Amino acid sequence: MNNSKQEFIQFAISANVIRFGEFVTKAGRLSPYFFNAGLFNDGHNLGRIAHFYAQTLLDSGVAFDMLFGPAYKGITLASATAVALAAQGRNVPFAYNRKEAKDHGEGGQIVGAALTGRVVIVDDVISAGTSVRESVELIRAAGATPAAVLIALDRMERSGKDDALSELSAVQEVSKNYHIPVIAIADLNDLFATLSAADAAADLAKYKGKVADYHQRYGI
């Protein structure tokens, strides 16, 4: 795990964005950890997460012209990432969607810059891939090209129900279905490495076994 990934995981834990315990996922699974990007809810933490998004995107080498944030969490993440990119000398436009098209004022479903060129979709995690599908459809309908999906954490977890688990994770399915890369700041391996580190706090290290068991059951 490189220093940037380790720094991100430790930051997310300290900000209580990665929490440990028992949480029911969208798939109905009982997970020993949960990632909630909605808790990057003050200026300092939002600025830090935006820096990680921006640096990860630049380091990926993906060519892009603008950012797109799916409603709702992606709106804040994409706009903050645009600010962080500008601070690093890469000023790009961004846009986001409404859940329902507006029939007055400027109207329409897209807010912000017009969707053009190569567009990176910015979101927190990929669960069922629904927001990615909707975003890809909006981008292509505007004549632009989806270039990549940028997320905070790849759970590396097989999609589907327990009685019909896919061989692919939700992230892998998105990449396969839309022929675009999915770029993650960090993934479950990085989280596990943090829990396994020799200097890991006892209250964190105790979750290592539960996370390993969960990955053994559902992971790719």
DSSP 2: -
Q: Please state, for a pLDDT cut of 70, what percent of the chain lies above it.
A: 94
Average pLDDT of the residues in 203-217: 90
To the query of whether residue 104 is one of the catalytic residues in this protein, the response is yes
User: Which residue shows structure tokens 């903050």?
Assistant: 80
Specify the CATH number for the domain of residue 182.
Answer: 3.40.50.2020
Kindly state the helix (H) or strand (E) to which residue 99 belongs, with its residue range: strand 94-102
Count, residues in the chain: 220
Burial label, 59 (beta-carbon count in 10 A; 0-12, 13-18, 19+): exposed
DSSP 113: S
Determine which one of 73, 104, 206, 215 is catalytic. 104
Record the tokens describing residue 93, joined without a space. Answer: 């436009």
Q: What is the pLDDT of residues 178-200, one digit of tens each?
A: 999 999 999 999 999 999 886 76
Range of the domain at 66: 3-218
Q: In this model, does residue 166 exceed pLDDT 80? A: yes
Q: What is the pLDDT of residues 109-128, one digit of tens each?
A: 899 999 999 999 999 999 87
How many domains does the chain contain in total? Answer: 1
- Cβ-contact 15, 41 below 8 angstroms: no
Determine which one of 102, 161, 176, 206 is catalytic. 102
Q: Is 79 helix (H, G, I), strand (E, B) or coil?
A: helix
- pLDDT value, residue 104: 47
Mean residue pLDDT of the chain comes to: 91
